[in-house]
Amino acid sequence: MILTNRFSKQFFSFALMFSILFSGQNIGHAEDQYTKDLIPTMTSHSSPEGIASASSENQEQQKYFAYLAFDDTTIPDGFDVWASLTTSNEWLQFEFTSKKQIQKYTLEPKNYAHSGSPTDGMSQAPKDWQFQAWNGADWIVLDSQSGITDWVPGTKKEFMFNNSNSYNKYRIFITANNGGWAISLGQMEMMEKINSTPDPDPEPIPTGDNALLVIKMISGLEKEFELTASEVQDFIDWYNDRADGRGKETYMFDKDFNKGPFTARKDYVAFSKIQSFEVMEYTK
């Protein structure tokens, strides 16, 4: 470990130095967090990247294409959706340009109703389906749903599942809809999980006199703080409490060095923005 320049003019006896690594907000019982939708806003079946496809497309009035379920809009005109030719055993697929470890997807029904069929979009929404991934030889079932009838126009449903592998092709294979003349979907999204499985082992307790705390943010930015052992413990206690849903969203560090003309300098770190942190302890 190479310490920063502000340590170079000091002489330390490194009687104790080890790392405690917390990664992906995996302490306690924090709720799982996910990325934003990884499918880009599609303007055609292959633009701007990836490939949208379906088992069939009901191309009435040159609409109902597969990519319209990935264009991030749900215009209530009845056409800005994917719709199939039949009412069962149809699929909608997206192929990424690189492998993704998808563990969540969302579905939004067709946002349309007319006087002749006021529940048009809801009757066409999927009722029974499997969410699948292609491993190069077979379609692997990652999630199964059945009897889903409570669709609401303009409202998406979220589905989470465990998946330890990465694939570049994912699809929803729909075996039945809710009685409409076709299967349709207004929008579909796919996400990766940010945090990992909670660590079953209790976290170590800092024992050194001082420590360098390095926090890696989800944005990629790293923040460094020189703290005493008690200050590190205060931070860990806050982090654990926040992971359990208690306490404030942000933690305040009092930066009492390099104040310059200021009477005080404070740095605020949001729990939801932390990807991992590392504690490197030392004894003077």
Q: How far apart are the first and last CA of the chain?
A: 16
Residue whose C-alpha is closest to residue 215's, from 270, 160, 276:
276
What whole-number distance in Å separates Cα of residue 29 and Cα of residue 239?
11
Model-wide pTM > 0.75? no
pLDDT digits (tens, 9 = 90+) for 225-234: 888 888 888 8
Predicted local confidence at residue 221, as pLDDT: 86
What whole-number distance in Å separates Cα of residue 121 and Cα of residue 108?
10
E strand map for the chain? 19-23, 51-54, 82-83, 90-100, 102-108, 126-134, 139-145, 157-160, 167-177, 184-185, 187-192, 210-217, 222-228, 250-254, 266-270, 274-282
| Structure tokens given for 142 | 């990652």
Q: Does residue 255 have a pLDDT over 80?
A: no
The CA radius of gyration of the chain, in Å to the nearest whole number, is 25
pLDDT digits (tens, 9 = 90+) for 167-225: 999 999 999 999 998 999 999 999 999 864 444 555 555 455 778 888 988 888 888 88
